[in-house]
Amino acid sequence: MENVLEVKNLKISFQTFFGEVEAVRGITFSVGKKETLAIVGESGCGKSVTANGIMQLLPMPPAFFKGGEIFFNGENLLKKSEKQMQGIRGNKISMVFQDPMTSLNPTMKIGYQIVEGLMKHNKMSREEARNKSIEMLELVAVPQPEKRINQYPHEFSGGMRQRVMIALAMVCNPQLLIADEPTTALDVTVQAQILELMKGLKEKLGMSIIIITHDLGIVADVSDRVAVMYAGQIVEVGLTDEIFSSTKHPYTRKLLASVPRLDMNKNETLHSIDGTPPDLYVPPKGCSFYDRCTEAMKICKDNMPGFYEHSSTHQSRCWLNHPMAQKANSQEGRKGQ
């Protein structure tokens, strides 16, 4: 499959008063044509920084790219000037943010906010752009688009605002849509509407999607492939089925066990993950999950595990996959024993 986006060993840090925070510590992934990649992780694991990094929307300073490359259609985005990036942002790659209330301008009519992108990128006249915007609002199922286009964001409900955000992101027909927690601020019934809408649009317009979320239910619903992030690294990546049914990394396993499921027996205990993620001012030398892992071994403390291939699409970063590890498991060498 041809890849739209390839991220290679990307490192992003923030320079702060207390020192350097290594928010993203060398991640590599790709997104194929018409593919939906989900990036899952807890808050602070670097998933939003990755997304904003691809769009180059991070405030610099304090943020800076410490290393790595981002290829979009074979071109390295990190080599582009700000002017060139403006031609890509919103046009070839666009983004839907988490909070539709704060990401729309409250002092501008929503029509103008959609038209703006079209006039800039596609050199359309105001009239053409307006017609296209109405068409777009119709596509995302906003009722009475001719009337709604002249209203302000506060006149829309949360779900409708998120639809407007999606219309805004889709209007220039981007090849890649990055959705950063697009439904977190919404109710479940509205969330279901928005997810259906995104799936439908992907089919219709044939774009690729990166969806960032912490909700494993959403991942199971919309994604083709999943990357699990923890403390600035990708710890496991694979097809959605592989991640859910043949989980290889202890963190992914624990994450799956810590959410209650509607079909689960009530007497089962919920497995919690003790402790909190590591401090990225001083990132751990070894495996970043070491402190919270119940299967940790001696080697995990000081040595960073590499990626192990389980299939051509499924990899995980854990010492347990090392051929020697099974021996270690059966004998001594476990933490705390």
Instruction: List residues binding another protein (CB under 8 A).
Output: 42-43, 157-160, 187-193, 195-196, 214-221, 240-241, 244-245, 254-256, 258-264, 266, 269-274, 276
**Strands 63-72, 3-16: parallel, antiparallel or unpaired by DSSP?**
antiparallel
Shortest Å distance, C-beta 293 to another protein: 12
Cα dihedral: 290, 295, 301, 302 (round 10): -110
Please, which residue, 8 or 202, has the CB nearer to another protein?
A: 202
Confirm if 278 and 291 have CB atoms less than 8 A apart: yes
* Alpha-carbon separation of residue 333 from 148, 254, 306, 336 (angstroms): 65, 21, 20, 9
Q: What's the rounded Cα separation, in Å, for the pair 280 and 49?
A: 13
Token couple for 287: 């495996």
Helix axes 126-139, 158-170, angle to 10 degrees: 130
Confirm if 334 and 320 have CB atoms less than 8 A apart: no
Please, which residue, 99 or 241, has the CB nearer to another protein?
A: 241
Please, which residue, 108 or 264, has the CB nearer to another protein?
A: 264
Please, which residue, 10 or 228, has the CB nearer to another protein?
A: 228
Shortest Å distance, C-beta 218 to another protein: 5
Put the strands of the sheet holding 308-309 in their side by side order.
93-96, 176-180, 208-213, 36-40, 225-230, 233-239, 315-316, 308-309
Shortest Å distance, C-beta 94 to another protein: 24
147 sits in which H/E element:
helix 145-148
Q: What's the rounded Cα separation, in Å, for the pair 132 and 325?
A: 59
Shortest Å distance, C-beta 316 to another protein: 18
Shortest Å distance, C-beta 256 to another protein: 7
Shortest Å distance, C-beta 5 to another protein: 23
Shortest Å distance, C-beta 158 to another protein: 8
Please, which residue, 75 or 279, has the CB nearer to another protein?
A: 279
Amino acid of residue 290: Y
Q: What's the rounded Cα separation, in Å, for the pair 234 and 8?
A: 12
| Ramachandran angles phi, psi of 287, nearest 5° | -65, 135
